Amino acid sequence: MAAPFEKTVLRRVPLVLCLLGFLAYGQTLWYPFVHDEIISIQFNPLITHFDWNEIIHGTGTAVIKNGGSSALNAYYRPLLELFYRIEYALFGLYPAGWHLFNILLHIANSFLVYSLINIFSGHKKGLAFAVSLLFLLHPVQTETVACISGVSNLVFAFFCFASIYLYCLGQRRADARMYWGSLTAFFLALLTKEQAVMLPVLVLWLERTAAPREGRRPPRRSLRVGGYFAVLAGYFVLRKFLMPHGVIPPVQFNGELFLRVLSIPRTLLMYLGTIFFPRDLHYYRSIDILEPAGGPAAGLLAVLLSVILIVRRTPQPYRRLLLAGAGWSLICLAPVLNIIPIINEYSLILTAEHFLYMSVAGVLLFVPGVGHFLISKLPARRQRLCAVVTVGILGMVCFVLTVRQNTVWAGQVPLIERTVRFEPNFSRAYMLLGDAYATKGEYARAIATYHRALGIMQGYMAKTESSSPRDFYALLMKETYVSIARCFDRLGDPGRAIEWYARADRIDPSQAAAHNHQGVSYLKEQNYAKAVIEFQEALLFDENNTMAMNNLAVCYLMTGRPKEAETILEKILRLNPHSVFARENLKKLMRAPQERGK
């Protein structure tokens, strides 16, 4: 009877996870593209076709996210590039399909977690189901699942979970094909996201703590785990030759690195607090490395001592599970502890919630493992009831919090409003919020928000003496000036718009954008002479600026210079055959003589 019962359970678990997954995240199917997705998907022409050169060299969506400059792109994610193109081929620009893909991947990952914990726990299916259920429904996962751009974490985690699962099966069955499949899955994870570099260490840890010891003895541990390090070495060689700008960003051993290392205890405590008390979930989560480090270090030491005490007082086989879970969490977080910094701005270091996606499984293995041990001490007749009630309550709480947190991703405004609520010193969040208000036509509100961003940036400028950060914030200020000018444009105040465009121009007069924006303001005032001068100035700085070219053509059309307009429009179409503006203006130009003839 055992085998049929096991098959029945295996059939029911994915169905239950699938049902709960859609109930928890189904509302996101109606959500639009937001933030990164607008650039990397909605307005990214690179994903509309399969250019294998772009895919293999990783110069597609990741570069677009960084403004089109590969020099700024430290990622090499060719498999993610391929996934974006496949999803575009399947769903086009309909966000529902992209959200559906994320939900299905998250459900698949939850079932892989169930399968792994089932193996590690010696087929304690109740424990495995509890961990997979909480992994599925935990609200900290919303940043990965509800955000379409979170697909990178979902795909990378899928291949990591699959790699570990195949490794465990290969070890239990002494099947070399499973082992080679595991190495392949690891390589695919690396091609999806760099965080997968931690997998060899994770496999080594699980080998020592939780891997099964069944079946015939496979090859020695050093040979088995060595294969993962060999794949990792091959991956770095591949990056070296295929990436257009090197392997990984260098780690500078300076005072800033020292501050980042000191901030690690605060980061870990923040992550643990986010998992156990997920009340302040928000986008662009950061920590300030200039804050005092003594208190967090003492707090983390207390947590570590508590974990050690719990592990020492827990008998086998539970001790193995607790060690596996604790190590799993720390190893998965190691690549994102900002040794190689991910800087939001100034002293704010990114500690995003999607970094926790795989680590949550480790924490959940530790905590339910303790709970399973405590419940096992109860009388037999109470054990099942206590387990069901406890997991049911936790699952329901997680479900409600997740459904509520998903609403944050319903649009750009609620997403960024929540960010500035918890990150009040993050100027770019105010810039994004100002953009969101402007898109909704709330221009006065947008201008006030942009001024908040300027105040923070001016404070950063006053505190830093280094030229490189000052130049960076100067460019951000210029971008904000231009945004304010656009708002005044739309409020029908071209005079104020020109004033703010001039401020932007004074920061960096070598850029074409400010001249183009000033020209647009003159164009709206029907001051064609000054508009022509501004557009011509823009083209002196960037002769292929198609926006300035199109605006100049409009001026020529309005001032009775059709031949010059036609020449410019034809040049635009040679540079960009898909330019709707140029094509429509050229059609108008061609129709004009016919209409005059009639």
DSSP H or E stretch at residue 286: strand 286-288
The Cβ-side half-sphere exposure at 181, using a 13 Å CA radius, reads 14
* pLDDT reading at 443 higher than 50: yes
* pLDDT reading at 279 higher than 90: no
Q: Which pLDDT tens digit goes with each residue over 457-490? A: 888 888 777 766 777 788 788 888 888 988 998 8
**Nearest-angstrom CA–CA distance, 426 and 422:** 9
**Nearest-angstrom CA–CA distance, 473 and 467:** 10
Same domain, 486 and 465: yes
Per-residue b/e over 12-22, b at no fewer than 16 CB within 10 Å?
A: ebbebbbebbe
Strand order in the sheet with 343-345: 286-288, 348-350, 343-345
Q: Which of 475, 502, 529 is the last residue of a domain?
A: 502
* Per-residue model confidence (pLDDT) at position 2: 41
Same domain, 495 and 518: no
Give the chain's radius of gyration (CA, Å): 28
* Per-residue model confidence (pLDDT) at position 3: 44
Residues 6+ apart with CB under 8 A from 490: 438, 441, 443
- In-domain check, residue 64: no
51 φ, ψ to 5°?
-100, 105
| Pick from 70-79, 113-122, 364-373: least confident | 70-79
- In-domain check, residue 9: no
| Pick from 64-68, 237-241, 297-301, 569-573: least confident | 64-68
- In-domain check, residue 148: no
- In-domain check, residue 533: yes
Cβ burial of 8 (10 Å; 0-12, 13-18, 19+) is: exposed
Alpha helices per DSSP H over 26-124: 36-37, 52-56, 61-65, 78-91, 95-120
> How many C-beta neighbours within 10 Å does residue 421 have?
11
Same domain, 457 and 519: no
Q: Which of 437, 471, 502 is the last residue of a domain?
A: 502
- In-domain check, residue 97: no
* pLDDT reading at 287 higher than 70: yes
Same domain, 436 and 462: yes
Same domain, 465 and 526: no
Q: Which residue has the higher pLDDT, 519 or 237?
A: 237
**Nearest-angstrom CA–CA distance, 204 and 211:** 9
* Per-residue model confidence (pLDDT) at position 248: 53
Same domain, 436 and 485: yes
497 φ, ψ to 5°?
-60, -45
Q: 58 in the Ramachandran plot: left (φ > 0), alpha (ψ -120 to 50) or beta?
A: left
Average pLDDT for 20-33: 95
In angstroms, how far is CA 168 from the centroid of its own chain? 30
Does residue 287 sit in helix, strand or coil? strand
* Structural domain total, the chain: 2
**Nearest-angstrom CA–CA distance, 477 and 347:** 18
**Cβ atoms 481, 501 nearer than 8 A:** yes
Alpha helices per DSSP H over 423-466: 427-439, 443-463
**Nearest-angstrom CA–CA distance, 406 and 99:** 12
Alpha helices per DSSP H over 191-290: 199-209, 221-242, 255-262, 264-276
Same domain, 515 and 595: yes
Average pLDDT for 91-119: 94
Average pLDDT for 127-138: 93
| Pick from 35-49, 116-130, 407-421: least confident | 35-49
Same domain, 541 and 596: yes
Q: Which amino acid is at 26?
A: G
**Cβ atoms 284, 344 nearer than 8 A:** yes
Q: Which pLDDT tens digit goes with each residue over 532-590? A: 888 888 888 888 887 788 888 888 888 888 888 888 888 888 877 656 566 666 666 66
* Per-residue model confidence (pLDDT) at position 305: 92
* Per-residue model confidence (pLDDT) at position 595: 45
- In-domain check, residue 566: yes
Q: pTM for the full model?
A: 0.81
> How many C-beta neighbours within 10 Å does residue 466 have?
8
* pLDDT reading at 246 higher than 60: no
Maximum average pLDDT range among 144-158, 219-233, 248-262: 144-158
Same domain, 468 and 516: no
- In-domain check, residue 45: no
Q: What is the domain-level CATH number for residue 593?
A: 1.25.40.10
| Pick from 38-47, 302-311, 514-523, 575-584: least confident | 575-584
| Pick from 215-229, 243-257, 532-546: least confident | 243-257
pLDDT band per the 50, 70, 90 thresholds, residue 11: low
- In-domain check, residue 555: yes
Same domain, 488 and 553: no
* pLDDT reading at 204 higher than 80: yes
Q: Which pLDDT tens digit goes with each residue over 379-429? A: 777 777 887 888 899 999 999 999 999 999 999 999 999 999 999 989 989
Same domain, 538 and 590: yes
Q: Which of 461, 483, 502 is the last residue of a domain?
A: 502
* Per-residue model confidence (pLDDT) at position 53: 75
Let me know the angle formed at the C-alpha of 537 by 535 and 540, rounded to the nearest 5 degrees. Answer: 115
**Nearest-angstrom CA–CA distance, 114 and 218:** 24
Mean pLDDT of the chain: 82
* Per-residue model confidence (pLDDT) at position 182: 93
* pLDDT reading at 264 higher than 80: yes
**Nearest-angstrom CA–CA distance, 549 and 571:** 9
Expressed as residue numbers, the domain containing 480 is 426-502
* pLDDT reading at 221 higher than 80: no
**Nearest-angstrom CA–CA distance, 29 and 332:** 29
Length of the chain: 598
Same domain, 538 and 495: no
